[in-house]
Structure formats: structure tokens, C-alpha cells
Amino acid sequence: MTKYQEKAKIVDLEEMGADVVRVRLRAERIAEAARPGQFVMVRFNEQLDPLLRRPFSLHSVDRRGRVDLLVKVVGRGTALLRTLQAGKDVLDLVGPLGNGFSWYAEGPVCLIGGGIGVAPLYYLASVLHEQQPERKIHILLGGRTGREVKVFANRFSWSGHEVAVATDDGSLGYHGLVPDLLADLLAGVCQVYGCGPYGMLRSVALACRQAGVPCQVSMETHMACGLGACLGCTIVAADGRYLHVCKDGPVFDAEKVAWKP
Amino acid sequence: METLDRKGQSPDLQVSVGPLLLRNPVLVASGTFGYGAEYADFVDVAALGGVVVKGISLEPRSGNPPPRVVETPCGMLNAIGLENMGVERFLVSRLPWLREQGATVIVNILGDSIEEYGMLARRLDGEPGIAALEVNISCPNVKRGGVAFGTVPEMAEAVTRAVRAGTDLPLIVKLSPNVTDIVEMARAVERGGADAVSLINTLTGMAIDIRTRRPRLANTIGGLSGPAIRPVALRMVWQVASMVSIPVIGIGGICGPEDALEFLLAGASAVEVGTANFVEPGVSERIIDGIREYLVEQEEGAVADIIGTLVVD
């Protein structure tokens, strides 16, 4: 599959709360080639410090060549985003990278996201819905506060999906951790997709294993190249071997991952 | 894109590194370019001076536990731990693609013992499509072997001799900067029969997460690369090029044509681009174009004519 480097014009920047910015970019070749679960490596400026690109899941891709990313502003690189202007500045993207999610032709599924982990699930839900509008798609979203989760919960609901929310402070939906919401759903779905913090993914993987439901997780690690060259983005597989998130993933069958306690 | 001088001629970019003839002086460094195919969408591997492939050992190696990389100011630390597929799988599954592309392939080799280096050289000798060997005696990440070969002149010489005995291929020895006197190391491998030296490999370094009070790399220490190390590399290349008679390949934080030219002026016959490949996948071809433009601007007909032309008053 062909990868591209594109100087992508920023079409829109939107603050989503909780230091998350939604960046809409015009990246036609990447949009054309992309599938849900894939990612891009982003360079925020041409300086040598910060040096390395950062990986971001594709949050949404449309037919007009527009790509959305959700960027949580945590360091100097991502902070640069707030100095950039829509309609004027560009971001340097390399992608689409990685394997992406896979799905059965039919059957109800559950998408579970924690915090910024919601990013690739929106793209997945859109494609699943487009391919088979009758398919039941359950969305479970978790976060620290209602303010962090609400905007994404609304977007999924507008698209006609059934959404349940869990927050750490109880300010919206269930007061507790989002994997707790899985228990009631697992009997009725044929596939679970998860993205979020490590501990959340581990809980999701464990719950799915107990229920005998297949689960795909999108993993995150330190990564230098995104192209399979540096071999830096290692995770440990269930059989003890090393996997590389950029090439073997970022989406893994949860049973193939060695979950650290 | 061809850049022409006033007579309508394109500058000659060909260089020789000992017995090794390169179409231009820009190579990509081992461990930063996979086996070439990883970059096929961004770079024409046949347009490069050469592709130095990810270091190969006799048997496959799984490498170090994660985390293996961390960014530092103007650079990165890595402790990959020499993960590779082993020589047999490389020959069957990776070398043929590079050969078909017409790439100049330099195979980086590493081992745990002098015998292993010798066996690798014998195994690769005569394989079609290999232009040269680069011997890694300096990787700082593996707790056994590696460090001693690269930091003790007698050991470095012995490894070089063992590889030399195993092959007639042009032989480049890649030097570690983590030594008191790199010129002494260069002289040692020259005695051992090296046709050229490449330098520098990564500088050993470390980073700590002050919240968890733990090292950021699972291996605790790693190798520093990127533009942060360039002045150190340039100084060492200049010293070695001035003091030994075999050619030098300059490596260390090269991110653009200006950086590459600094190394050539300091006496390097060619350069390897490393960490910058991660940041800008097409950087190596941009550097070739930039060198060509510089030669036209400077009214130089051949890149070979500017090598080592540093003026020190």
C-alpha cells in the first residue's frame, strides 16, 4: 500500500475541550488511501527541536480529501498547533501508516474509547455504518469529566449510534470506568474495538476473553519513524516475541498482546 | 532535477571510498532505513550513493525490551538492541529486492565474537548484489561484546583482521565515538586491513523520568543520534581524516545538504544520513540535489574536488 508525504493545508482548527484540538486538513492522497485504524506521522514545523514526528490516528476521512486528527496538546510539538492558522498554515504528514481495523461483513459491534482514544473509533463507526447502515454499533466512551466526553458522545449520537458514557467524576453518565459498561453488552456483540489508555485496554481485553468475544485494540508507543525502519515502537506479544506497533499494528488482536499487570 | 553549470554540464558527483566507487557521496545509515523497501515510496534507492542496511548477525536477534526510543533535545536516544532477522533470511527475503532496484548495497554486520564476524564475512562473500561490508564494532546497546570491540584498539584490529580474512569485498569499519582517542581506533582498524572507516556511531547517553524516578529506556542507557551530535561527529571526522590514510565516511546528525557539505569539506569522502530519515523520509535525495547545486554555485566540476578542502588559518 502506497504511503505519501503531504504538506497538508489546515482547513479548520477546533478546540474540543480538555486540551484536545481537532485539526481538519486537506490531504487528498492520504485520504484516498486510508482505512480506519491507520495513522499518520505529523511534523508540526520545520525546526529540529522538537525533532521527531508524532503519530496520530485518523479521526475522520471524507471523500473530498479532508482528514481530521484529534491532537491532545501535551508537549512543545503539539503546543505549536495553537500558533497555526486555518486557511494559511500546513502540517507535514506521512501516511497512511499501519494495518487498520478489520471487520466481519455483518453483526453487532461495540466500540469502546477512553479519553483521546475515541479518535480512530469515529472513523471506524462511519465506515461500518456506511457499508451496512442496519448494523448495530454500540459506542462506549470514557473520560475524566463529562466536559471531556460530551462533545464526542454528541457526534456519535448525531450519526445515529447508541452511546453510553462513563466518567471518573460522575459528571456525565456512569460514575466509574468505561470497561464496566461492557459487561451488559458483550453477550450481544460479535466484535469489540478498543482504543485508550493501557489499563483500560487491558480491562477490555480481559472482559472480552472471559466472554469469548473477539477484540481488536489500537495500541500506542514511543515511535520514531512510523515506517518499520527504526524498530523502536516495540510491544511484547503473548508468546513473548516483540511486535512493532507501526507495522504489525497499531491494531492488534487483544489475544496476541502480553498484558502487563 | 538536473542542475547545470554555465557550460551546461551537471557536476560529477561520483566519489571513491577506497576500492568502492559510489555514484554520489550520500548514503543512508544502518538502522535508519530498514532494508530499503521501507522507504520505497519516498526515495529511489538506486539514486543514492548507497544503502547501508540494518545490522545483520549470524542468527536472528530479538533486541531489547521496550521502551527503546526517547526524544531528547535535537536528537533521540535508542536502545534497539540490534534486533535483526539474521543473515540467512536477509539474503533470501531482503537482498533480492535491493538488487533488483539497482541499489548499491552495503551490508552492516555485527557479532558477539571475533569468530562470528569472520563467519559473517565468509557467508556474505561472493553473494551477488553486495558492494561492501560495514563492520559494526561500536553499538553500545548490547551488554556483552559490542562495547569492548569498539573501545579497545587491539580488539578492533582483531575483528577487522577476521573480516578481512573472510572476504575480498571493500571493508568499512564503523567507529564508536565513546573512546578517549578515536584516531587511535582508526589507526588500529587500518592496521587490521580496513579499506575505510565510517564515523561516528551513536554517543552513549541517558534520560530519566523524574516522576517515576526511572530511566526512560528499558535498557537504562542508549545511543544518542540526531543533530545534537553533529559538532562532535564533525570534529572527529576532521581529526581522523587528517591523521589516517584510508578514506573516511562522515556520519552524525546530517539533516540537509549544508550539513553533508561540512563533513565533505572536513575530509569525508562520503556521508551517511541517519536519524533525519525518520523526520524527513526523502531527505537523502534532497541532500544529493543540494550538493549538486552547491557545486554549480561554487563552480566546482566534481564533488571529489571539494573533499578535505577545509581551510584552517
In angstroms, rounded to a whole number, what is the distance separating the alpha carbons of residues A159 and A154?
9
Length of chain B: 313
The residues near A131 (Cβ < 8 Å, ≥ 6 apart) are none
Residue-level pLDDT at B5: 63
pLDDT at B142 over 50: no
Question: B75 to chain A: nearest residue by CA?
Answer: A51
Chain B closest CA to A75's CA: distance in Å?
Answer: 12
pLDDT at B207 over 80: yes
For an interface test with A, the pick among B53, B69, B224, B230 (most A C-beta atoms closer than 10 Å) comes out as B69
Q: What is the mean pLDDT of chain B?
A: 94
DSSP string, B110-124: --SSHHHHHHHHHHH
Contact call for residues B20 and B170 (beta carbons, < 8 A): yes
pLDDT digits (tens, 9 = 90+) for B51-110: 999 999 999 999 999 999 999 999 999 999 999 999 999 999 999 999 999 999 999 999
In angstroms, rounded to a whole number, what is the distance separating the alpha carbons of residues B287 and A220?
32
Q: Which amino acid is at B308?
A: G
Cell numbers for B288, please give them.
Answer: 544529493
pLDDT at B232 over 70: yes
The residues near A154 (Cβ < 8 Å, ≥ 6 apart) are none
Question: Is residue A50 within 8 angstroms of chain B, CB to CB?
Answer: yes
Question: Is residue A75 within 8 angstroms of chain B, CB to CB?
Answer: no
In angstroms, rounded to a whole number, what is the distance separating the alpha carbons of residues B164 and B159?
9
| Residue of B38, B68, B277 lying closest to A232 (CB–CB) | B68
Residues of B in contact with A229 (CB under 8 A): 31-34, 38-39, 54, 277-278
Residues of B in contact with A232 (CB under 8 A): 68-69, 78, 80
Cell numbers for B184, please give them.
Answer: 587511535
Nearest 10 degrees: Cα torsion B55, B56, B60, B66: 0
Question: Is residue A22 within 8 angstroms of chain B, CB to CB?
Answer: no
The residues near A141 (Cβ < 8 Å, ≥ 6 apart) are A112, A113, A114, A118, A149, A152, A153, A156, A163, A164, A165, A166, A178
Helix axes B230-243, B182-192, angle to 10 degrees: 50
pLDDT confidence band for B141 (50 / 70 / 90): very low
pLDDT digits (tens, 9 = 90+) for B156-202: 999 999 999 999 999 999 999 999 999 999 999 999 999 999 999 99
Residue-level pLDDT at A17: 87
Residue-level pLDDT at B2: 57
Catalytic residues of B, by residue number, are 139
Residue-level pLDDT at A112: 97
Question: B255 to chain A: nearest residue by CA?
Answer: A48
Question: A76 to chain B: nearest residue by CA?
Answer: B73
From residue B16, alpha-carbon distances to B21, B87, B220 in Å are: 4, 27, 40
Q: Per DSSP, which regions of A136-261 are E strands?
A: 137-143, 162-167, 174-175, 191-195, 215-218, 234-236, 242-244, 251-253
From residue B307, alpha-carbon distances to B15, B253, B310 in Å are: 10, 19, 8
For an interface test with A, the pick among B38, B45, B64 (most A C-beta atoms closer than 10 Å) comes out as B38
| Residue of A53, A227, A235 lying closest to B38 (CB–CB) | A227
Residue-level pLDDT at A18: 85
Residues of A in contact with B69 (CB under 8 A): 222-224, 230, 232-233
CB neighbours of residue B64 within 10 Å: 23
Residue-level pLDDT at A54: 96
pLDDT digits (tens, 9 = 90+) for B75-92: 999 999 999 999 999 999
pLDDT at B1 over 60: no
For an interface test with B, the pick among A54, A227, A243, A248 (most B C-beta atoms closer than 10 Å) comes out as A227
pLDDT confidence band for B4 (50 / 70 / 90): low
Contact B71/A51, CB-based, under 8 Å?
A: yes
Burial class (CB in 10 A: 0-12, 13-18, 19+), B308: middle
The residues of chain A scoring below 50 in pLDDT are none
Cell numbers for A170, please give them.
Answer: 460522575
In angstroms, rounded to a whole number, what is the distance separating the alpha carbons of residues A30 and A93?
9
| Residue of B73, B80, B255 lying closest to A231 (CB–CB) | B80
Contact A53/B71, CB-based, under 8 Å?
A: no
pLDDT digits (tens, 9 = 90+) for A174-222: 999 999 999 989 999 999 999 999 999 999 999 999 999 999 999 999 9
Question: Is residue A51 within 8 angstroms of chain B, CB to CB?
Answer: yes
Beta-carbon pairs below 8 A across chains A and B: 97
| Residue of A50, A221, A225 lying closest to B71 (CB–CB) | A50
Chain B closest CA to A224's CA: distance in Å?
Answer: 6
Residues of A in contact with B65 (CB under 8 A): 234, 236
Which residues of chain B approach chain A closer than 8 Å at the C-beta?
31-34, 38-39, 41-42, 54, 62-63, 65-71, 73-76, 78, 80, 83, 226-227, 255, 275, 277-282
pLDDT at B206 over 80: yes
Contact call for residues A111 and A140 (beta carbons, < 8 A): yes
Contact B41/A223, CB-based, under 8 Å?
A: no
Contact A232/B83, CB-based, under 8 Å?
A: no
Question: Is residue A93 within 8 angstroms of chain B, CB to CB?
Answer: no
Contact B66/A231, CB-based, under 8 Å?
A: no
Residues of A in contact with B31 (CB under 8 A): 229-231
In angstroms, rounded to a whole number, what is the distance separating the alpha carbons of residues A202 and A184?
18
Contact call for residues A113 and A125 (beta carbons, < 8 A): no
